[in-house]
Homo-oligomer: A and B are copies of this chain.
Amino acid sequence: MLEDYAEISVYALLVEGGKTKTLSVVINDRGDLLSYSISGSSGWTTVGFDTAFSNLTLSIMSAINRSGLSPREIDIAILGLPDLDTESAKIYFEEKLREWGVFRVKPLIIPDFVVAYYAVTLGDPGIAVIAGTGSIAYGKNSRGVSARAGGWGWFGNDEGSAIWIAMKAIETSGKFFDGRGPYTAIAQKVLDFFKIKDPLHLIDIVYSLIARDVGEIGKLAILVDEAAEEGDQIAKEILLNSGRELALMAKAVYEKIRVDSEEFIIGGVGSVFSSRILKESFTSSVRNYIPNARVVEPLVKYTPIKGIVALLVEKTGLSRSFIELVVKSVQEAISK
Protein backbone atom coordinates (compact mmCIF):
# COMPACT_ATOMS: atom_id res chain seq x y z
CA MET A 1 0.00 0.00 0.00
CA LEU A 2 1.37 3.32 -1.07
CA GLU A 3 0.11 5.15 2.01
CA ASP A 4 2.58 3.12 4.07
CA TYR A 5 5.42 4.93 2.30
CA ALA A 6 4.29 8.52 2.69
CA GLU A 7 7.79 9.81 2.17
CA ILE A 8 7.86 8.45 -1.39
CA SER A 9 5.87 10.79 -3.60
CA VAL A 10 3.87 9.17 -6.38
CA TYR A 11 2.84 11.33 -9.31
CA ALA A 12 -0.32 10.56 -11.25
CA LEU A 13 -1.59 11.97 -14.51
CA LEU A 14 -5.37 11.74 -14.79
CA VAL A 15 -7.14 12.60 -18.03
CA GLU A 16 -10.83 13.21 -18.41
CA GLY A 17 -11.40 13.01 -22.18
CA GLY A 18 -14.66 14.17 -23.63
CA LYS A 19 -16.43 14.97 -26.87
CA THR A 20 -16.14 18.70 -26.24
CA LYS A 21 -13.04 19.05 -24.06
CA THR A 22 -10.13 17.16 -22.56
CA LEU A 23 -8.96 17.86 -19.02
CA SER A 24 -5.59 16.64 -17.74
CA VAL A 25 -4.49 16.94 -14.13
CA VAL A 26 -1.27 16.02 -12.33
CA ILE A 27 -1.59 15.07 -8.66
CA ASN A 28 0.59 13.41 -6.05
CA ASP A 29 -0.32 10.71 -3.56
CA ARG A 30 -1.00 13.28 -0.85
CA GLY A 31 -3.87 14.55 -2.98
CA ASP A 32 -2.18 17.81 -3.99
CA LEU A 33 -3.22 19.12 -7.38
CA LEU A 34 0.06 20.12 -9.05
CA SER A 35 -1.37 21.38 -12.34
CA TYR A 36 -4.15 21.06 -14.89
CA SER A 37 -4.80 21.85 -18.53
CA ILE A 38 -7.83 21.85 -20.82
CA SER A 39 -7.83 21.30 -24.59
CA GLY A 40 -10.41 20.38 -27.25
CA SER A 41 -12.32 17.15 -27.97
CA SER A 42 -10.66 13.77 -27.64
CA GLY A 43 -13.69 11.99 -29.09
CA TRP A 44 -12.61 10.49 -32.37
CA THR A 45 -16.14 10.10 -33.74
CA THR A 46 -16.56 13.86 -33.46
CA VAL A 47 -13.18 15.21 -34.64
CA GLY A 48 -11.39 12.20 -36.15
CA PHE A 49 -8.56 10.11 -34.74
CA ASP A 50 -5.73 12.53 -35.52
CA THR A 51 -7.32 15.61 -33.99
CA ALA A 52 -8.51 13.60 -30.99
CA PHE A 53 -4.94 12.42 -30.40
CA SER A 54 -3.52 15.95 -30.89
CA ASN A 55 -5.95 17.39 -28.37
CA LEU A 56 -5.14 14.59 -25.95
CA THR A 57 -1.35 15.04 -26.12
CA LEU A 58 -1.64 18.83 -26.00
CA SER A 59 -3.70 18.60 -22.83
CA ILE A 60 -1.31 16.04 -21.30
CA MET A 61 1.95 17.86 -22.13
CA SER A 62 0.62 21.19 -21.04
CA ALA A 63 -0.48 19.77 -17.65
CA ILE A 64 2.86 17.98 -17.14
CA ASN A 65 4.88 21.05 -18.10
CA ARG A 66 2.91 23.19 -15.69
CA SER A 67 3.53 20.67 -12.89
CA GLY A 68 7.30 21.17 -13.22
CA LEU A 69 7.76 17.42 -13.69
CA SER A 70 9.13 15.57 -16.69
CA PRO A 71 6.83 13.00 -18.35
CA ARG A 72 9.23 10.28 -17.17
CA GLU A 73 8.51 11.18 -13.54
CA ILE A 74 4.82 10.23 -13.94
CA ASP A 75 4.28 6.96 -12.04
CA ILE A 76 0.77 6.21 -13.21
CA ALA A 77 -1.36 7.64 -16.02
CA ILE A 78 -5.09 6.96 -16.34
CA LEU A 79 -6.93 8.23 -19.40
CA GLY A 80 -10.73 8.07 -19.53
CA LEU A 81 -11.79 8.52 -23.16
CA PRO A 82 -15.06 8.59 -25.11
CA ASP A 83 -15.83 6.51 -28.23
CA LEU A 84 -13.95 3.37 -27.14
CA ASP A 85 -16.74 0.97 -28.07
CA THR A 86 -14.54 -1.10 -30.32
CA GLU A 87 -11.20 -2.65 -29.42
CA SER A 88 -9.65 -1.01 -32.50
CA ALA A 89 -10.17 2.50 -31.13
CA LYS A 90 -8.42 1.58 -27.87
CA ILE A 91 -5.55 -0.02 -29.79
CA TYR A 92 -5.16 3.13 -31.90
CA PHE A 93 -4.65 5.29 -28.81
CA GLU A 94 -2.37 2.74 -27.11
CA GLU A 95 -0.11 2.49 -30.16
CA LYS A 96 0.02 6.22 -30.73
CA LEU A 97 0.95 6.80 -27.08
CA ARG A 98 3.66 4.13 -27.29
CA GLU A 99 5.07 5.71 -30.50
CA TRP A 100 4.91 9.09 -28.77
CA GLY A 101 7.22 7.54 -26.19
CA VAL A 102 7.28 10.25 -23.53
CA PHE A 103 6.05 8.07 -20.67
CA ARG A 104 8.04 5.66 -18.56
CA VAL A 105 4.83 3.81 -17.67
CA LYS A 106 2.15 2.43 -19.94
CA PRO A 107 -0.95 4.67 -19.64
CA LEU A 108 -4.21 2.95 -18.76
CA ILE A 109 -6.93 3.76 -21.29
CA ILE A 110 -10.46 3.38 -19.97
CA PRO A 111 -13.78 3.98 -21.79
CA ASP A 112 -15.80 6.85 -20.35
CA PHE A 113 -18.63 4.53 -19.32
CA VAL A 114 -16.21 2.47 -17.17
CA VAL A 115 -15.07 5.73 -15.58
CA ALA A 116 -18.72 6.47 -14.78
CA TYR A 117 -19.07 3.02 -13.22
CA TYR A 118 -16.12 3.80 -10.90
CA ALA A 119 -17.71 7.10 -9.95
CA VAL A 120 -20.91 5.30 -8.90
CA THR A 121 -19.47 2.20 -7.21
CA LEU A 122 -15.88 3.23 -6.39
CA GLY A 123 -15.04 -0.18 -7.87
CA ASP A 124 -17.44 -2.26 -5.75
CA PRO A 125 -19.78 -4.74 -7.50
CA GLY A 126 -22.47 -2.82 -9.27
CA ILE A 127 -23.83 -1.16 -12.35
CA ALA A 128 -23.81 2.42 -13.60
CA VAL A 129 -26.50 3.53 -16.02
CA ILE A 130 -25.27 6.55 -17.91
CA ALA A 131 -27.94 8.72 -19.50
CA GLY A 132 -26.96 12.12 -20.78
CA THR A 133 -26.89 12.89 -24.48
CA GLY A 134 -26.61 9.12 -25.07
CA SER A 135 -27.22 6.12 -22.84
CA ILE A 136 -25.35 2.96 -21.81
CA ALA A 137 -25.11 0.65 -18.80
CA TYR A 138 -21.90 -0.93 -17.55
CA GLY A 139 -21.28 -3.14 -14.57
CA LYS A 140 -18.82 -5.45 -12.87
CA ASN A 141 -19.24 -8.15 -10.23
CA SER A 142 -16.96 -9.20 -7.34
CA ARG A 143 -15.05 -11.61 -9.60
CA GLY A 144 -14.22 -8.79 -12.03
CA VAL A 145 -16.62 -10.01 -14.73
CA SER A 146 -17.97 -7.02 -16.60
CA ALA A 147 -20.65 -6.36 -19.24
CA ARG A 148 -22.31 -3.51 -21.06
CA ALA A 149 -25.74 -2.90 -22.60
CA GLY A 150 -27.06 -0.05 -24.70
CA GLY A 151 -24.70 2.59 -26.04
CA TRP A 152 -25.58 1.78 -29.64
CA GLY A 153 -25.86 5.45 -30.46
CA TRP A 154 -28.71 7.89 -30.87
CA PHE A 155 -29.85 6.63 -34.27
CA GLY A 156 -32.86 4.57 -33.31
CA ASN A 157 -31.32 3.65 -29.98
CA ASP A 158 -29.78 5.08 -26.83
CA GLU A 159 -33.13 4.53 -25.20
CA GLY A 160 -33.90 6.85 -22.32
CA SER A 161 -31.17 9.35 -23.26
CA ALA A 162 -31.74 13.07 -23.78
CA ILE A 163 -31.63 12.64 -27.56
CA TRP A 164 -34.07 9.76 -27.37
CA ILE A 165 -36.46 11.89 -25.31
CA ALA A 166 -35.96 14.77 -27.78
CA MET A 167 -36.81 12.45 -30.69
CA LYS A 168 -40.04 11.50 -28.95
CA ALA A 169 -40.74 15.20 -28.39
CA ILE A 170 -40.39 15.91 -32.11
CA GLU A 171 -42.32 12.79 -33.06
CA THR A 172 -45.29 13.53 -30.80
CA SER A 173 -45.28 17.23 -31.77
CA GLY A 174 -45.24 16.41 -35.49
CA LYS A 175 -48.10 13.97 -35.04
CA PHE A 176 -50.09 16.54 -33.09
CA PHE A 177 -49.51 19.29 -35.69
CA ASP A 178 -50.68 16.90 -38.43
CA GLY A 179 -53.75 15.77 -36.51
CA ARG A 180 -52.33 12.24 -36.46
CA GLY A 181 -51.69 12.24 -32.74
CA PRO A 182 -53.24 13.56 -29.52
CA TYR A 183 -52.69 17.00 -28.05
CA THR A 184 -49.47 17.46 -26.14
CA ALA A 185 -48.15 20.58 -24.45
CA ILE A 186 -44.72 19.59 -25.76
CA ALA A 187 -45.64 20.88 -29.23
CA GLN A 188 -46.04 24.53 -28.21
CA LYS A 189 -42.98 24.35 -25.95
CA VAL A 190 -40.87 23.14 -28.87
CA LEU A 191 -42.03 26.05 -31.05
CA ASP A 192 -41.37 28.53 -28.24
CA PHE A 193 -37.94 27.03 -27.57
CA PHE A 194 -36.86 27.58 -31.17
CA LYS A 195 -38.76 30.91 -31.34
CA ILE A 196 -40.81 29.89 -34.39
CA LYS A 197 -44.49 30.14 -35.27
CA ASP A 198 -44.80 27.86 -38.32
CA PRO A 199 -44.32 24.26 -37.16
CA LEU A 200 -42.78 23.35 -40.54
CA HIS A 201 -39.77 25.55 -39.69
CA LEU A 202 -38.89 22.83 -37.19
CA ILE A 203 -37.67 20.74 -40.11
CA ASP A 204 -34.99 23.26 -41.11
CA ILE A 205 -33.91 23.81 -37.52
CA VAL A 206 -33.69 20.17 -36.54
CA TYR A 207 -31.70 19.17 -39.63
CA SER A 208 -29.25 22.02 -39.36
CA LEU A 209 -28.71 21.01 -35.71
CA ILE A 210 -28.13 17.38 -36.68
CA ALA A 211 -25.48 18.44 -39.17
CA ARG A 212 -23.82 20.85 -36.72
CA ASP A 213 -24.22 19.33 -33.28
CA VAL A 214 -26.81 16.65 -32.67
CA GLY A 215 -26.20 16.87 -28.91
CA GLU A 216 -27.89 20.29 -28.93
CA ILE A 217 -31.20 18.63 -29.80
CA GLY A 218 -31.00 16.82 -26.48
CA LYS A 219 -31.96 20.09 -24.80
CA LEU A 220 -35.55 19.42 -25.84
CA ALA A 221 -35.61 16.75 -23.13
CA ILE A 222 -35.92 19.57 -20.59
CA LEU A 223 -39.16 20.72 -22.25
CA VAL A 224 -40.58 17.22 -21.99
CA ASP A 225 -39.82 17.21 -18.27
CA GLU A 226 -41.46 20.63 -17.85
CA ALA A 227 -44.58 19.49 -19.71
CA ALA A 228 -44.74 16.29 -17.64
CA GLU A 229 -44.43 18.19 -14.36
CA GLU A 230 -47.28 20.43 -15.53
CA GLY A 231 -49.45 17.35 -16.03
CA ASP A 232 -49.06 16.57 -19.75
CA GLN A 233 -49.85 12.89 -20.19
CA ILE A 234 -47.81 12.30 -23.37
CA ALA A 235 -44.74 13.88 -21.78
CA LYS A 236 -45.21 11.81 -18.64
CA GLU A 237 -45.41 8.60 -20.64
CA ILE A 238 -42.19 9.44 -22.49
CA LEU A 239 -40.33 9.91 -19.20
CA LEU A 240 -41.84 6.84 -17.51
CA ASN A 241 -40.86 4.82 -20.54
CA SER A 242 -37.34 6.31 -20.48
CA GLY A 243 -36.90 5.27 -16.86
CA ARG A 244 -38.04 1.74 -17.67
CA GLU A 245 -35.73 1.51 -20.72
CA LEU A 246 -32.76 2.60 -18.61
CA ALA A 247 -33.66 0.02 -15.96
CA LEU A 248 -33.83 -2.62 -18.71
CA MET A 249 -30.23 -1.80 -19.63
CA ALA A 250 -29.21 -2.37 -16.01
CA LYS A 251 -31.16 -5.65 -16.01
CA ALA A 252 -29.40 -6.85 -19.19
CA VAL A 253 -26.00 -6.16 -17.60
CA TYR A 254 -27.07 -7.78 -14.33
CA GLU A 255 -28.13 -10.96 -16.07
CA LYS A 256 -24.73 -11.28 -17.69
CA ILE A 257 -22.65 -10.77 -14.54
CA ARG A 258 -24.77 -11.65 -11.53
CA VAL A 259 -23.77 -13.67 -8.50
CA ASP A 260 -27.02 -14.54 -6.77
CA SER A 261 -26.00 -13.79 -3.20
CA GLU A 262 -24.28 -10.53 -3.99
CA GLU A 263 -25.57 -7.08 -3.14
CA PHE A 264 -25.23 -4.80 -6.13
CA ILE A 265 -24.92 -1.02 -6.18
CA ILE A 266 -26.94 0.45 -9.03
CA GLY A 267 -26.81 4.13 -9.81
CA GLY A 268 -27.55 6.56 -12.59
CA VAL A 269 -25.15 9.08 -14.03
CA GLY A 270 -26.08 12.05 -16.18
CA SER A 271 -28.42 14.92 -16.82
CA VAL A 272 -31.64 13.01 -17.56
CA PHE A 273 -31.76 11.78 -13.97
CA SER A 274 -32.51 15.35 -12.90
CA SER A 275 -36.07 14.57 -14.03
CA ARG A 276 -37.97 13.45 -10.94
CA ILE A 277 -40.47 11.42 -12.97
CA LEU A 278 -37.76 9.63 -14.94
CA LYS A 279 -35.71 8.96 -11.81
CA GLU A 280 -38.67 7.49 -9.93
CA SER A 281 -39.57 5.29 -12.89
CA PHE A 282 -35.95 4.14 -13.16
CA THR A 283 -35.65 3.40 -9.44
CA SER A 284 -38.89 1.46 -9.12
CA SER A 285 -38.19 -0.51 -12.32
CA VAL A 286 -34.68 -1.40 -11.10
CA ARG A 287 -36.08 -2.55 -7.73
CA ASN A 288 -38.61 -4.62 -9.60
CA TYR A 289 -36.09 -6.23 -11.98
CA ILE A 290 -33.22 -6.64 -9.51
CA PRO A 291 -34.56 -7.05 -5.94
CA ASN A 292 -31.11 -7.27 -4.33
CA ALA A 293 -29.97 -3.98 -5.90
CA ARG A 294 -29.03 -1.10 -3.65
CA VAL A 295 -30.11 1.88 -5.70
CA VAL A 296 -27.97 4.94 -4.92
CA GLU A 297 -28.71 8.58 -5.71
CA PRO A 298 -27.84 9.44 -9.32
CA LEU A 299 -24.81 11.59 -10.07
CA VAL A 300 -26.48 14.40 -11.97
CA LYS A 301 -23.75 17.04 -12.03
CA TYR A 302 -21.20 14.39 -12.83
CA THR A 303 -17.54 15.09 -13.50
CA PRO A 304 -15.64 12.06 -14.79
CA ILE A 305 -12.62 12.96 -12.66
CA LYS A 306 -14.39 11.29 -9.72
CA GLY A 307 -14.39 7.93 -11.49
CA ILE A 308 -10.79 8.33 -12.62
CA VAL A 309 -9.61 9.07 -9.09
CA ALA A 310 -11.62 6.09 -7.81
CA LEU A 311 -9.80 3.95 -10.35
CA LEU A 312 -6.48 5.39 -9.20
CA VAL A 313 -7.40 4.50 -5.62
CA GLU A 314 -8.20 0.93 -6.66
CA LYS A 315 -4.93 0.57 -8.59
CA THR A 316 -2.70 2.06 -5.89
CA GLY A 317 -4.44 1.07 -2.69
CA LEU A 318 -4.80 4.69 -1.57
CA SER A 319 -7.58 5.44 0.92
CA ARG A 320 -11.04 6.16 -0.51
CA SER A 321 -11.09 9.45 1.38
CA PHE A 322 -8.55 10.53 -1.21
CA ILE A 323 -11.29 10.61 -3.87
CA GLU A 324 -13.36 13.48 -2.52
CA LEU A 325 -10.22 15.39 -1.61
CA VAL A 326 -8.87 15.34 -5.17
CA VAL A 327 -12.26 15.92 -6.82
CA LYS A 328 -12.74 19.00 -4.65
CA SER A 329 -9.29 20.40 -5.51
CA VAL A 330 -9.82 19.85 -9.25
CA GLN A 331 -13.29 21.36 -9.25
CA GLU A 332 -12.11 24.40 -7.32
CA ALA A 333 -9.16 24.91 -9.66
CA ILE A 334 -11.06 24.64 -12.94
CA SER A 335 -14.00 26.76 -11.77
CA LYS A 336 -11.66 29.70 -11.04
B86–A207 CB distance below 8 A = no
Question: CB of A222 within 8 A of chain B?
Answer: no
Interface size band for A: 35 or more
Most chain B C-beta atoms within 10 Å of own C-beta, residue among A85, A151, A166 = A85
B149–A170 CB distance below 8 A = no
Of the residues B152, B156, B179, B251, contact of A255 by C-beta under 8 Å: B179
Would you list which residues of chain A between 227 and 281 have a CB under 8 Å from chain B?
248-249, 251-252, 255-256
Would you list which residues of chain A between 140 and 166 have a CB under 8 Å from chain B?
148-153, 155-157, 159, 166
Question: CB of A9 within 8 A of chain B?
Answer: no
Question: CB of A171 within 8 A of chain B?
Answer: yes
Most chain B C-beta atoms within 10 Å of own C-beta, residue among A150, A166, A207 = A207
B86–A200 CB distance below 8 A = yes
Contacts known (A86-B200, A149-B178); A155 close to B252, Cβ less than 8 A = no
- Copy number in this complex? 2
Q: How far is the CA of A70 from the CA of B18 in the complex (A)?
A: 59
Question: CB of A204 within 8 A of chain B?
Answer: yes
Could you say which residues of chain B place their CB within 8 Å of the CB of A251? 180
Q: Which B residue's beta carbon lies closest to that of A249?
A: B180
Contacts known (A86-B203, A200-B85, A207-B45); A178 close to B156, Cβ less than 8 A = no
Could you say which residues of chain B place their CB within 8 Å of the CB of A180? 149-150, 248-249, 251-252
Could you say which residues of chain B place their CB within 8 Å of the CB of A203? 85-86, 151-153
B156–A168 CB distance below 8 A = yes
In the assembled complex, how far is the CB of residue A136 from the closest CB belonging to chain B, in whole angstroms? 10
Question: CB of A201 within 8 A of chain B?
Answer: yes
B179–A157 CB distance below 8 A = no
Could you say which residues of chain B place their CB within 8 Å of the CB of A333? none
Question: CB of A31 within 8 A of chain B?
Answer: no
Could you say which residues of chain B place their CB within 8 Å of the CB of A156? 166-171, 174
Contacts known (A86-B201, A200-B85, A201-B86); A153 close to B206, Cβ less than 8 A = yes
Question: CB of A108 within 8 A of chain B?
Answer: no
Question: CB of A119 within 8 A of chain B?
Answer: no
Question: CB of A99 within 8 A of chain B?
Answer: no
Question: 12 interchain pairs (CB within 8 A)?
Answer: A45-B204, A86-B204, A149-B179, A152-B203, A155-B207, A156-B169, A156-B170, A156-B171, A157-B171, A159-B171, A178-B249, A178-B252
